[in-house]
Structure 1
Amino acid sequence: MTGKAGRRFSPPFLKMKRKVAIIAALLACMLTGCADSQNADTLFPRAEDSYVGDVMALSEEDGVYLNYLYETDHNGVGYHPIHRFYTKDFLSFEDKGEVLPFAEDSEIQDLAVGTGSFIRDEQGNYHCFYTGHNDYYDTYGFDKECVLHATSKDNKSFTKDYDNIIHAPKGYSTNDFRDPQVYRTDDGYLMLVGARKENESAIVYYKSQDLENWTFKGDFYTSRDLYFMECPDVFQMGNKYYLVFSWNNVVYYRVSDNFFGPWEKEEIDTFDGDGFYAAKSCEYKGKRYLIGFLDRKKREKDSLKYTWAGSVLVYELRQLSDGRLGVCMPDQYNEYFTKELLNSTSENNALDLGKVPETCHLSFDLDMEEAGRMDLVFSNPESGEEYKLSIDNQDDNISFNAFPNNQPIRLESGTKYHIDVVVEKDIVVIYADGIKALSNRIYAAVGADWEIELTDALAENVMIYGK
């Protein structure tokens, strides 16, 4: 079934909306003042008075375009236009404003815009495949979610094509069909799409020669463990292939020796806890990154659960010797933090680190016994709050105790592991030796004192670097 032959009946009002040129982006930028504004240096960008949702990175030779779903606390009937940051180094970002608006008419398929992907074809033209979501369509018997296509010659102004909407194949849910990810292959193009059929979630795939006519090929991967697999992405590192997808605030991965599987589930098949979401990979200057977003919390209360959308969060991916996939602090951060603020080693069970800087990089080597534990304690004298970010060798996890958030990890006793902690205001990310990480919003960390507390453990070469 192709994208054209497989189309279902479109509502009459759609026939008047063909090939709509996106001039609304210009108006949006005039209203929001968003055109090409240079952010202050930041590692976790978000535009003022808004939040970053799903990220769709496009890597070019001169930099990376971080396209993302733009979220606010005051969405209307239509929502989630695609906005963009641009970076050359993941250390500073330009806010490029709106790239793809949502439809202004409630009768149009993409009243809300959902995740997709950006790709440049062999002729140098740019393509955005994205999710068209309309909360009203299901009521009238139309497909709630479909795959849409927009094109651009300059990667700035995109034109939507409503003539080639891809609907869910027969037997798959028309309410859950989203997040197209497109790749160039040796024989054309391949597209992954998140889908759902009876009793299981699925990632389906299509093939095309021209990015317009798509042929449905079947299931790429299925799972009965999760209701849905959002934001699918597949890539190769070394001699392994990795499949990444997200559901319910968690990013998962699978590994295979071949592009089409079979896909194996690792014993610990996650990278981070419950705050990092909708991550997909991006290769840039010989390294592969995992880019998603770190959620926020309503009312900036540490004790509350995470709320969808927040700030861009970038991990550098690392292939471990046994084929597992790990995440680490991007190497560029060592160039960002160069001012030495502390150089010490724990001589007993505690090490006072002083006041938490507004932004800094804490690093140390950690050696724990079988029942060892390291607590990074944040004590805020103004609010009276105290929270712990911990690595526990007995419980085999990294955790934050304000609202349960943890990432399983297995560390061997008697082995030194390098720990990095990056702080930027209320964002605190801990990286464990390129294996796992735990990202957090810790609002109480702003203006707090902090210290390292150790149980059956030793912290050496404790360094704090600022800007």
Structure 2
Amino acid sequence: MDRRGFFRPHDAWVGDVIPWQEDGRFHLFYLYESRRIPRPGMPWHRVVTDDLVTFTETGPALSSGGTDAADFNVYTGSVVVADGIHHVFYTGQNPNRRGADGLPVQVVLHATSGDGMQTWDRHPEHTFGATPGYETADWRDPFVFRDEVAGLWRMLITARHTDGPERRRGVIAQCVSHDLRTWEPVEPFWDPRRYIAHECPEVFEWNGWWYLVWSEFSESFTTRYRVSRSLHGPWSVPENDTLDGRAYYAAKSAARDGRRFFFGWISSREGGTDEGAWQWAGTLSVLEAEQNPDGSLRFHPPRELADTFDTNVVGLASGTVLTAADGYRDLVIPGEIPARFRVDAVVDIAPGTTECGVLLRASPDGDEGYVLRLEPRRNRVVFDRWPRPRTGGEQWQISGDVPFAVELERPLPLPPGPHRIEVVVDGDLCVATVDGAVTLSTRLYDRTHGAVGVFVGEGSATVLSLEVTTGSPGERTNTLRDDDVLVSS
């Protein structure tokens, strides 16, 4: 679909992305989810991008192996180059091939390309499944990289122990090879005995720090990372160890020109409604990581995406004050905003303020809409909406005691002073970033139009700047007065 900075194939969805950067171009292999019934077998497709904004679909890359093949479903893997040959290692699964536990067996497979990743030759003789001590139904997402110090190749594998509490058997298993053909099992790469599984693992070195990234297949269902000064650990837990919230999953990274980008997907919701259950697969979305001195990471959309919004639609003049000592006050900028827009606001939060933030697709009176809410007392940003689900007309039949949209919460320090809020909305996609460090992605289905506003609750906030831009020329410009001051009655 034609979205700048995002990608979804026509009549299908993007599953796990396998990124590969070569000669300045990102080759993004991904699991092509058609959601057809009966299931046709999962293939890899590929898109390429040079600018992280425009994505060109090149079509199927690695097809399903066929109804009877071990790789009827071609699941997640990785790409490496050796002696001018591209190698992919990937997961194969066939629901008709079951292990001792009665579940479909997962295996690691190998294919090579000598024509620049245009075609692939499979090598079924290199296939192998779970080694002793691991469940046969969880042996997937092989990530292969070169360990120059040890002089060998390492493969990280999503696996589960055969023993232990059911929800804490997850482990990143490890195999090593000298020729990319035969693999020998060695000790686990990481074994915290905490999660169901560590999906889509990867490891990389960046400016003297090592990073272990995986997607938590447990109660949180989010992408996490750990930091170390050594490939072999120990791995420390950053204060905020997630890339995004519940809606952004299976992110893996690639680097270019000293920058590192993560490619994941924003999950769709069943039925295309705000109350629908999160679904597997969605729309490709890119986040850029930046390093802090302690090795922890900040995340935000790449600047290339922000640069596509260059037409001012509305603005709010510097110095606008919202005050509500013991109540609530909002300001909705008149006029509806196009379906694709970007908000860039800096809000100076007064000491003791309970909440403030931005309204999206709001009604003219601000009573309905989506809410990106900063909560200084709780040091978090949350996504919310009103009205919430209703089962009837009475007060107790409205979901009013839910503090925010479930699973859409990110921790971050919010001391008094200025904080920058950036929000990109493109149709039903929404990616919000606070202070260029903490990102929260979601979907906006039910409300398709409305205005932008700001609000405060139990405190005071000064809007130092607020600008709404689109990528569409010819939109009007509207700026409220410099001396707008809103005080609760």
TM-score (norm 1): 0.86
1:262-341 equivalences in 2 (<5 Å): 262-341=234-313
1:362-386 Cα offsets, whole Å, 9 max, x none, are 111133234432233235669x963
Cα distance in 2, alignment partners of residues 161 and 88 from structure 1: 31
CA contact (8 A) 1:54 1:293 kept: yes
Distance 1:388 1:236, change over 3 A: same
Is 1:347 matched with 2:321?
yes
Q: Which has the larger radius of gyration?
A: 2
Cα distance per residue 1:385-417 (max 9 Å; x no partner): 633222222232222235413233232422322
Any idea what the Cα deviations from partners look like across 1:276-300, whole Å, max 9, x if unmatched?
Answer: 0001111023210111100001111
Q: Which moved more, 1:186-195 or 1:403-412?
A: 403-412
Aligned to 1:144: 105
Give the share of equivalent positions with the same residue, in percent.
29
Letter aligned with residue 127 of structure 2: I
Alpha-carbon distance in structure 2 between the residues aligned to 1:370 and 1:269 = 27
Matches of 1:66 and 1:374 in 2, distance apart? Answer: 38
- Structure 2 unaligned residues grouped into runs of 5+: 323-328, 386-404, 472-489
Task: Report what 1:404 is aligned to.
Answer: 406
Indicate the larger mover: 415-424 or 147-156.
415-424
Question: If the length of structure 2 is used for normalisation, what is the TM-score?
Answer: 0.82
Q: Does 1:184 align with 2:146?
A: yes
CA distance in 1, matches of 2:450, 2:110: 48
SS of equivalent to 1:268 = coil
Q: Does 1:226 align with 2:200?
A: no
In structure 2, the residue matched to 1:12 is: none
Assess if the C-alpha contact under 8 Å between 1:422 and 1:430 holds in 2. Answer: yes
> Which residue number corresponds to residue 463 of structure 2?
459
Q: Deviations over 1:159-205 (max 9, x none)?
A: 11110112111101111110011112312322111111022211122
Distance verdict in 2 for CA 1:41–1:228, change over 3 Å: closer
Report deviation, 1:446: 2.2
Instruction: Give the alignment partner of residue 90 of structure 1, picking from 39, 52, 55.
Output: 52
Change (3 A) 1:371 1:240: farther
Aligned to 1:307, what secondary structure does the other structure show? strand
Give the CA deviation at 1:211.
1.3
Structure-1 residue corresponding to 2:88: 128
Residue identity matched to 2:337: V
Counting only pairs closer than 5 Å after superposition, residues 26-45 of structure 1 correspond to structure 2 as 40-45=2-7
Amino acid at match of 1:466: T
Determine the C-alpha separation between the residues in 1 that align with 2:22 and 2:331.
44
* Structure 1 partner of 2:337: 356
Determine if contact 2:410/2:440 at 8 Å carries over to the other structure. Answer: no
SS at match of 1:269: coil
Deviation at 1:41, TM superposition (A): 4.9
Moved more, 371-380 or 156-165: 371-380
Q: What is the one-letter code of the residue matched to 1:184?
A: R
CA distance in 2, matches of 1:392, 1:142: 45
Question: Where does structure 1 lack aligned partners over 5 or more consecutive residues?
Answer: 1-38
Whole-angstrom distance in 1 between the partners of 2:368 and 2:277: 17
Hey, what does 2:186 align to over in structure 1? 217
Q: 1:142 to 1:411 in 2, by over 3 A?
A: closer
| Per-residue deviation, 1:142 | 9.0
CA separation in 1, counterparts of 2:289 and 2:352?
28
Cα pair distance change 1:323/1:145, threshold 3 Å: same
SS state at 1:443 partner: coil
Instruction: Give 1:228 deviation, angstroms.
Output: 0.5
Stretch deviating more after TM superposition (337-346 or 242-251): 337-346
Q: 1:337-366: CA deviations, max 9, x gaps?
A: 222223324332433244232222211113
Asked if the contact 1:376–1:450 (Cα under 8 Å) also holds between the matched residues in 2, the reply is yes
Structure 1 residue aligned with 2:359: 377
Amino acid in the other structure paired with 1:146:
V
Distance 2:103 2:285 in 1: 36
Question: What is the deviation of 1:148?
Answer: 0.5
| Counterpart-to-counterpart distance in 2, 1:270 and 1:124 | 36
* Aligned counterpart for 1:419 among listed residues 418, 421, 426: 421
Counterpart of 1:291 in structure 2: which amino acid? Answer: F
AA at the equivalent of 1:463: E
User: Match of 1:347, as an amino acid?
Assistant: V
Partner of 1:429: 431
Query: Is contact 1:318-1:434 (8 Å) kept?
Result: no
Report the Cα distance in structure 2 between the residues aligned to 1:401 and 1:143, rounded to whole angstroms.
Answer: 39
Distance 2:381 2:198 in 1: 25
For the aligned residues, what is the CA RMSD?
2.1
Q: Which moved further from structure 2: 219-228 or 370-379?
A: 370-379
Which amino acid in the other structure matches residue 82 of structure 1?
Answer: W
Q: 1:385 to 1:53 in 2, by over 3 A?
A: farther
SS in 2 for 1:144: strand
Cα distance per residue 1:214-242 (max 9 Å; x no partner): 22222110122211000001122222211
SS at match of 1:90: coil
Q: Call closer, same or farther: CA 1:394–1:211 in 2, change over 3 Å.
A: same
Range 138-147 or range 396-405, more displaced: 138-147
The Cα shift of 1:91 comes to: 0.7
Equivalent of 2:71, from 101, 110, 113?
Answer: 110
Query: Quick one: which amino acid aligns to residue 47 of structure 1?
Result: P
Match of 1:388 in 2: 371
- Matched ranges for 1:191-270 at <5 A: 191-197=155-161, 198-199=163-164, 200-248=169-217, 249-270=221-242
| Equivalent in 2, 6, 15 of residue 53 of structure 1 | 15
Q: Is the 8 A contact 1:380 1:444 kept in 2?
A: no
CA contact (8 A) 2:341 2:470 kept: yes
Further displaced range: 244-253 or 402-411: 402-411
